[in-house]
Amino acid sequence: MKQHLLARVEDSEYDIVVRRAGDDYLVTIDGSERRVSLGDSANGSSHALIDNKSYQVDLKQHNGSWSVYTAGKSYNVTVQNFQLAQLRNRLGVNHSATKTKNLKAPMPGLVLQVAVSVGDKVKAGDTVVVLEAMKMENPIKSGGDGVVSKVHVSAKDSVEKGSPLIEFAD
């Protein structure tokens, strides 16, 4: 079974496909394949063997992303399902609300409720707007933790698909 992922390392994105190959993994990054073996080191960090080259890696998970420390450098990394990432990008919703400039309407509809105000702190999964479309209420949720910097809509506003709803601080 293979997994198709989108990884963000700092400000760069990578298209990644991961397949199991016995005890190892075949990892294709932007078209370039690598054989990867993972294990634990005696000091509690992780050990990666990538194309027969050894790396010591310290991983710490926080707020849906990872801090990766290797070879004297630290990287902020987020990984998500590739198709979900593409859908989020089309809708203007990135993996984390703190990196999303605008939360956009995923469909045309009528704004029933705006659940946030400028300055509000939101967590991933919080409902920020409720849209009515095709006689159904559709809660629009935050993609990550963040602070609301601008509200583009009010209750009873009609919106088109792709219209900005909420803007988050950088």
For position 154, what pLDDT does the model report?
96
Residue-wise pLDDT for 131-142, tens only, equals 898 788 888 888
Two tokens, residue 161: 């698909």
pLDDT given for residue 95 in this prediction: 47
Give the domain 92-168 fold. OB fold (Dihydrolipoamide Acetyltransferase, E2P) (2.40.50)
Determine contact, residues 67/59, Cβ cutoff 8 Å.
yes
Q: Do 74 and 10 touch, CB atoms closer than 8 A? A: no
For 100-165, where are the alpha helices, taking DSSP H only? Answer: none
Span(s) in the chain for CATH 3.30.700.30: 2-81
- DSSP E strands in 105-162: the ranges are 109-114, 121-122, 127-133, 136-141, 146-151, 158-159
For the record, the structure tokens of 68 come out as 């990766």
Q: What is the CATH number of domain 2-81?
A: 3.30.700.30
Residues of the chain with CATH 2.40.50.100: 92-168
Question: For position 31, what pLDDT does the model report?
Answer: 87
Neighbours of 130 (CB within 10 A): 17
Mean pLDDT within 30-55: 85
Write the pLDDT tens digit of every residue in 79-128: 887 777 666 666 655 544 334 567 888 788 999 999 999 999 988 778 89
Q: Please choose, from the candidates 148, 150, 110, the residue with its C-alpha nearest in 3D space to the C-alpha of residue 131.
A: 110
The amino acid at 100: T
Read off the pLDDT of residues 2-21 as tens digits, 9 standing for 90 and up: 888 888 887 788 888 999 99
